[in-house]
Structure 1
Amino acid sequence: MNSFLNELAKQLAGKWVSLLVVPGALFVASVVVGWRMHFGSWPGSEHFVAALQRGRASGGQLAAAALGAVLLSAWAGLLAQGAGRAVHWLWLGQWPGRTGEALADRRRRRWARAQERYEQAYRQGQSDETLAELAYRRNLVALAPPTRPTHMGDSIAALSTRVGIEYGLDLEHGWPRLWLVLPEEARAVLDESRDAVNRSATVAGWGVLYILAGAVWWPLGPAGLGALLTAVVRGRSAVTNLAQLMESAVDLHGASLATSLGIPVPDGRVTPEIGREVTRVVRKGA
């Protein structure tokens, strides 16, 4: 048991260093260099630097400086993770108030116009290539009628809509049960995809911090903007991939969920009737 706890402590310490301290140290070093170039040395740092140059800095001073650097780096890492959580919330578009609803309405109108053009072309019997192009343009807005102010948010929201229409399944209540019957390999792939979304949001959090640090030294601002734009591109791709994998999990293992709940699936395919029965069981009247 002690060896297990020691190994767990080592793994947690390694993750703590890689996720917080290392990127935090780079951020703190950048801010220190920028501060020194713009304002001069930190208040009170002249004596410590002079002691280092004379070789008279005590062990206590060096230890305090090292500990302070580690703590500042960890604090910066925690701050970036917090900013990343805020970015994640913005990406998924669950915004309260009129701003979020106004943006969602705008996206709904765009989707409706694209859907109308697709339906008109279908009624006119236009070619498959034309229909595919119109469907592609509509899907660039969302895969289902938009309900969120952001594309990433609608990628997740459309998942519930599409599963509900195809299978009659309430994914909000059904997903935790489906997760328990998924094979280990499928859960590992989904975990990695979810982690990719979280990593992108954390990179965006670092971008926000570097943009703010641009007030100390202007080159940090463009660097932060570049990190933020990169995170948005990566995040959009990661969210789309996660939604596709979750929908695939329902397609491939929805029958396993039904049979695990004691609901027969005669042909091995979940029909809307079976999905509605699964929903009734998992919701328990809620």
Structure 2
Amino acid sequence: MNPFLNELAKQLAGKWLSLLVVPGALFVGSVAVGRRIRLGQWPGDHRFVTDLQQGRASAGQLATVVLGALLLSAWAGLLAQGAGRAVHWLWLGQWPGRVGEALAGRRRRRWTRAQESYEQSYREGRSDEDLARLAHLRNRIALAPPTRPTRMGDSIAALSARVRVDYGLDLEYGWPRLWLVLPEDTRAVVDESKEAFNRSASLAGWGVLYVLAGSVWWPLGLAGLGILLTAVVRGRSAVENLALLMESAVDLHGANLATSLGIPVPEGRLTPDIGREITRAVRKGA
């Protein structure tokens, strides 16, 4: 047990350093330097800095400075993680109230107009190139009628809608069971995509802190905007890839889920009738 606990402690310490302390130290140092530059006090002339340069700083002073820097860095990391969770919630578009409904309605109207243009062109016998272009314009909004105020949120919502329409499967209840029958390599790929999305949200959390730090020194605000832009691009790519991988998992392994639940699969693949049977089994009347 002791070797296991020691190894676990090492891993937790490594994650603590990489996720909180190191980026937190960069943020705290940037704010400190920016503040001194703004106030025209760089380089500084504090007695401790002079003592440190001349080797006269006491061990207590050094320990206090190191401990204070670690605590500030950890607090900054925790603030960034909290901001990242808020960004995660905003990106997925689970907003209550009228604002979320209004934005979702606006996206739905745009999608409906794009779908009507596609259907009209299809009836008119337009070329495959025109149809592909119109489908691309529609899919840039969402792959299914939008229900969320954000594109990232609709990437996940469209996944559930498409699986329900094509297979009759309620993915909210079916996914946890499907996850248990997926091969290990498939779960690893899905996990990596999910972690990429979470890392993007955490990066956006740091961007929020740097934007706020722009009130101390304006270049930090510009850096924050750049970080936020990078995080949005990465987050959008990650969530779209995650939705595609989850839908592919249903396509390739949905029949295994049915077999595991004791539901016959005569054709060897998931069909709407089998999907509805799975839904009845996993929902249990709920």
**TM-score strictly above 0.5:** yes
Question: 1:50 Cα deviation (Å)?
Answer: 4.0
Corresponding residue for residue 142 of structure 1: 142
Q: What does 1:105-254 correspond to in 2, within 5 Å?
A: 105-254=105-254
Residue identity opposite 1:110 in structure 2: R
Question: Aligned to 2:218, what secondary structure does the other structure show?
Answer: coil
Aligned CA RMSD, in angstroms, stands at 1.3
Whole-angstrom distance in 2 between the partners of 1:41 and 1:60: 25
Whole-angstrom distance in 2 between the partners of 1:195 and 1:113: 35
Corresponding residue for residue 13 of structure 1: 13
For each residue in 1:113-168, what CA deviation from the matched residue of structure 2 results, as whole angstroms up to 9, or x when unmatched? Answer: 00000110111111211111111110010000000000000000000000000000
TM-score by length of 1: 0.97
Whole-angstrom distance in 2 between the partners of 1:176 and 1:79: 31
Question: 1:57 Cα deviation (Å)?
Answer: 1.6
Residue identity opposite 1:227 in structure 2: I
Residue identity opposite 2:118 in structure 1: Y
Whole-angstrom distance in 2 between the partners of 1:41 and 1:54: 20
For each residue in 1:59-104, what CA deviation from the matched residue of structure 2 results, as whole angstroms up to 9, or x when unmatched? Answer: 0110111011111111111111110110010000000111111110
Corresponding residue for residue 29 of structure 1: 29
For each residue in 1:184-207, what CA deviation from the matched residue of structure 2 results, as whole angstroms up to 9, or x when unmatched? Answer: 000000110000000101111111
Deviates more, 1:4-13 or 1:227-236: 4-13
Question: 1:46 Cα deviation (Å)?
Answer: 3.1
Identity, % of aligned pairs?
79
Whole-angstrom distance in 2 between the partners of 1:52 and 1:116: 72
Residue 110 (structure 2) pairs with residue 93 (structure 1) = no
Question: 1:5 Cα deviation (Å)?
Answer: 1.2
Whole-angstrom distance in 2 between the partners of 1:70 and 1:253: 47
Where do 5+ consecutive residues of structure 1 fail to align? none
Whole-angstrom distance in 1 between the partners of 2:41 and 2:56: 20
Question: Aligned to 1:281, what secondary structure does the other structure show?
Answer: helix
Whole-angstrom distance in 1 between the partners of 2:4 and 2:40: 49
TM-score by length of 2: 0.97
Question: 1:49 Cα deviation (Å)?
Answer: 2.6
Where do 5+ consecutive residues of structure 2 fail to align? none
Whole-angstrom distance in 2 between the partners of 1:265 and 1:96: 41
Whole-angstrom distance in 1 between the partners of 2:130 and 2:215: 51
For each residue in 1:193-246, what CA deviation from the matched residue of structure 2 results, as whole angstroms up to 9, or x when unmatched? Answer: 000000101111111100100111111000000000010011000000000000
Residue identity opposite 1:247 in structure 2: E
Whole-angstrom distance in 2 between the partners of 1:159 and 1:53: 60
Whole-angstrom distance in 2 between the partners of 1:178 and 1:84: 29
Question: Aligned to 1:108, what secondary structure does the other structure show?
Answer: helix
Q: What does 1:43-62 correspond to in 2, within 5 Å?
A: 46-62=46-62
Whole-angstrom distance in 2 between the partners of 1:55 and 1:276: 75
Question: 1:277 Cα deviation (Å)?
Answer: 0.6
Question: 1:48 Cα deviation (Å)?
Answer: 2.6
Deviates more, 1:50-59 or 1:86-95: 50-59
Whole-angstrom distance in 2 between the partners of 1:108 and 1:86: 24
Whole-angstrom distance in 2 between the partners of 1:265 and 1:255: 7
Structure 1 ranges of 4+ moved more than 2 A: 39-42, 45-56
Whole-angstrom distance in 1 between the partners of 2:199 and 2:281: 35
Question: 1:37 Cα deviation (Å)?
Answer: 1.4
Corresponding residue for residue 258 of structure 2: 258
Question: 1:58 Cα deviation (Å)?
Answer: 1.1
Residue identity opposite 2:17 in structure 1: V
